[in-house]
Amino acid sequence: MNPEQEIQSLREQLSKHALAYYVLDTPTVPDAEYDRLFQRLEALELKHAELKTIDSPTQRVGGGLLGAFSKVKHAVPMLSIRTETDTESSGAKNFDVRIRKTLELSETDTPIEYVAELKFDGLAMSLHYEDGILTQAATRGDGETGEDVTQNVRTIHQIPLRLIAKPAITLFDDTVPSRVEVRGEVYMRRDDFETLNERQRIKIAAGQKGEKIFVNPRNAAAGAVRQLDSKIAADRQLSFFAYAVAQGLPNEVTTHAQTLEQLHAWGFPVSTDARVCTGADELVQFHQDMAAKRDALPFDIDGVVYKVNSLVSQARLGFVSREPRWAVAHKYPAQEQMTTVLAIDVQVGRTGKLTPVAKLAPVFVGGVTVTNATLHNEDEARRKDVRVGDTVIVRRAGDVIPEVVNVVLDKRMQDAQIFTIPTHCPVCGSVAIREEGETDTRCTGGLICGAQRKQAIEHFAHKRAVYIDGLGEKLVEQMVDAGIIKSLPDIYRLGLANIVALDRMAEKSAQNVLAAIEKSKQTTLPRLLFGLGIRHVGESTAKAFAKHFGNIDAIMDASEERLQQVPDVGPVVAQSLRSFFDVPYNREVVEQLRACALTWDEGEGTPTVPQILANKTFVLTGTLPTLGRGEAKEMIEAAGGKVTGAVSKKTDYVVAGAEAGSKLDKARELGVLVLDETQLKELLGG
């Protein structure tokens, strides 16, 4: 091929691959191959500048700086859509009633057909095509006049630089009208927004001037489109959805649904959530469906839009106050609102984490009245620089905990004080520390801290710890709230009357709990050590400590240096355990447990289960009917067996459950004995 032919071929290939990747979401070539073709085209256009055209894929990368945006007079005004004031699902019925009344339809007449779409939270855009080539892009502006942002819009890969000449429906011809104006929304995906803000944080940390964290995807997208440097727009990773044709719609298109089909056929991305709805009830269902789906979408929406499907009916309905009668925006409750920080409290979580929480002047956001918003941790509070008295923007999406998005600095009081995390726990007064490399500050009180009491008791009673069958989260919560358990030893001081007095606790159930508590009095040193809930001390570490020191007193008295002599124990674990037992209350808990007749094997923590699987190696694969994999592993190890991750000639048994994979095939290949859950229990003597 000569250069002109090769350039044309490369453009066609790149346009085809871009459509598949950005619009159809079905990539046809690896990124490396696309890059290779693109670089070849760039090189050819650089060498043959006379062959470069405005619809070339290379024109998406951004050009030089603009002095200012020129004004664009819209041939067809970009009108706003009326907003339904009722944010509940009943708002859809209100719209249907108005449409039927205007069209003079009775309740017995055929239901009206609508198209329901998402209301994207972005920037409205008008795209002009001459002979199929993008020649101009303009913002809405005041509806009559917008700004020419063509250079920036060219960088958006989802917007075709040249329309595809193929029919949307078989009755259409395959020609592109000489003049086409497409309307749609420029937006930014949430993941692209997070990536952008992460880059901004890095720049700010590096001391770059003039950089900022963006409040939300819409602001970031709008700011990118209105940048005088199109390279910034290209760097922002903007996206686009088309939803209307203002000029150039083929005569064969008679409905809005067909309009969306035509847009897709020309190469535009069209939301797959758009739905043809018949009657008010289906509009209500769409509103509810999208509300449930809203938080899972990869982009922000602030509502849905209903449009009469028939273009003839649209023309008949016309406009009122420069708004179309045939369409309405049905919003959801706002997810962001402005309010004032009244105070900043510090809450202590179940694991000892200290979380700063902004106490707010009540504000209705995301469908509920919000009075608190999390600041997550000290770093986040410092980064956002939230202070008492500040005016802030609060966001709540779905069931997500409300959070402060940013501070309105223009409204800050001069004497506002910088927030600092306390050095002591506000609940128990213990020292609060932030370990190196961590973002959270934690209370070191452990068992003495009232905020951590429920978590501590639940952990102690867990099946992998001391294990008290039936003493789960709900029962522990009742007992702590009722004041009958204030510490771990209190578990062994419970009587029948205490438990029966709790809600939904019959005498038989209470007796079962007491029996489980009595049974738990015989445990092992590793289980006890793990059950105390010492930070960084897991099951395997507890076993290692028990094996190395032999008894609890030696562990409690060991220095950090001696603790680090245990295999795989480093300074962080050693310091955590040492700090735990440096608190007199925690040592007292161990002594009180002894006084309550709790016993554990010292030595190497030898379990009471007979070692019937000593020197036997097991591999677990698949899902067992009743046992979790961790539980099965624990039972095998308690009986002296060893559980490994790979099948080999040294494997004695493979325990296989549902959907067992290659490990089962390997076992059969090597002739290893395969057991199911029932056979495993029989082997264990159960």
**Hey, CA dihedral for 373, 379, 384, 387, is it positive or negative?**
positive
Asked if residues 134 and 161 have their Cβ atoms less than 8 Å apart, the reply is yes
pLDDT digits (tens, 9 = 90+) for 539-585: 889 989 998 898 999 999 999 999 999 988 999 899 999 988 998 99
The yes-or-no verdict on residue 86 having pLDDT over 90 is no
3-59 to CATH, choices 3.40.50.150, 3.40.50.970, 1.10.340.30, 1.10.287.610: 1.10.287.610
In terms of DSSP bridges, do strands 123-130 and 133-139 run parallel, antiparallel, or are they unpaired? antiparallel
> Predicted confidence band at 606 (pLDDT cuts at 50, 70, 90)?
very low
Q: How far apart are CA 298 and CA 676, in angstroms?
A: 43
In terms of DSSP bridges, do strands 642-644 and 653-656 run parallel, antiparallel, or are they unpaired? unpaired
> Predicted confidence band at 601 (pLDDT cuts at 50, 70, 90)?
confident
pLDDT at 507: 92
The yes-or-no verdict on residue 94 having pLDDT over 50 is yes
Does the 336-411 domain belong in CATH 2.40.50.140? yes
Task: Give me the mean pLDDT over the 442-450 stretch.
Answer: 87
Cα–Cα–Cα angle for 89, 270, 76, rounded to 5 degrees: 90
pLDDT at 400: 65
Average pLDDT, the chain: 88
Portion of the chain with pLDDT greater than 90, in percent? 53
pLDDT at 23: 61
Phi/psi for 299 (5° steps) reads -145, 165
Residue with tokens 């992460």: 198
The yes-or-no verdict on residue 105 having pLDDT over 60 is yes
Q: How far apart are CA 167 and CA 631, in angstroms?
A: 61
Q: How far apart are CA 237 and CA 156, in angstroms?
A: 7
pLDDT digits (tens, 9 = 90+) for 638-657: 787 888 888 999 999 999 99
Task: Give me the mean pLDDT over the 401-410 stretch.
Answer: 86
Position with higher pLDDT, 95 vs 108? 95
- Identify the burial level of 585 via C-beta atoms within 10 angstroms of its C-beta, where 0-12 means exposed, 13-18 middle and 19 or more buried: middle
pLDDT at 172: 52
pLDDT digits (tens, 9 = 90+) for 283-298: 999 999 998 898 889 9
The yes-or-no verdict on residue 609 having pLDDT over 80 is no
Label residue 91 left, alpha or beta by phi (over 0 means left) and psi (-120 to 50 means alpha): alpha
Portion of the chain with pLDDT greater than 70, in percent? 94
What is the number of H-type helices and E-type strands within the chain? 24, 26
Position with higher pLDDT, 224 vs 326? 326
Label residue 377 left, alpha or beta by phi (over 0 means left) and psi (-120 to 50 means alpha): beta
Architecture of domain 446-601: Orthogonal Bundle (1.10)
Q: How far apart are CA 217 and CA 593, in angstroms?
A: 55
In terms of DSSP bridges, do strands 673-675 and 653-656 run parallel, antiparallel, or are they unpaired? parallel
Task: Give me the mean pLDDT over the 34-57 stretch.
Answer: 86
Q: What is the DSSP letter of 57?
A: G
Q: What's the pTM value of the predicted model, to 2 decimals? A: 0.54
Give which of 403, 260, 299 is closest to 290, Cα–Cα: 299
pLDDT at 607: 42
Position with higher pLDDT, 211 vs 500? 500
Does the 617-683 domain belong in CATH 3.40.50.10190? yes
Q: How far apart are CA 550 and CA 560, in angstroms?
A: 17
The yes-or-no verdict on residue 63 having pLDDT over 50 is no
Q: How far apart are CA 487 and CA 598, in angstroms?
A: 14
Give which of 567, 472, 88 is closest to 303, Cα–Cα: 88
pLDDT at 343: 95
Task: Tell me how long the chain is.
Answer: 686
In terms of DSSP bridges, do strands 642-644 and 599-601 run parallel, antiparallel, or are they unpaired? unpaired
Q: CB under 8 Å to 123, separation ≥6 — which residues?
A: 139, 140, 185, 186, 187, 218, 221, 222, 225
pLDDT at 610: 65
Catalytic residue numbers, as ranges:
119
pLDDT at 608: 46
Q: Which helix (H) or strand (E) holds 360?
A: strand 353-365
The yes-or-no verdict on residue 490 having pLDDT over 90 is yes
Q: CB under 8 Å to 117, separation ≥6 — which residues?
A: 243, 271, 273, 274, 275, 304, 305, 307
pLDDT digits (tens, 9 = 90+) for 471-482: 998 999 999 999
Asked if residues 225 and 149 have their Cβ atoms less than 8 Å apart, the reply is yes
pLDDT at 322: 74
Task: Give me the mean pLDDT over the 496-512 stretch.
Answer: 92
Q: CB under 8 Å to 267, separation ≥6 — which residues?
A: 19, 23, 160, 163, 164
SS3 of residue 8 by DSSP: helix
CATH topology for 93-331 is D-amino Acid Aminotransferase; Chain A, domain 1 (3.30.470)
pLDDT at 284: 95
The yes-or-no verdict on residue 599 having pLDDT over 80 is yes
Domains of the chain: which residue ranges? Answer: 3-59, 93-331, 336-411, 446-601, 617-683
3-59 and 446-601 share one CATH topology?
no
Q: How far apart are CA 20 and CA 269, in angstroms?
A: 11
Position with higher pLDDT, 69 vs 263? 263
pLDDT at 602: 67
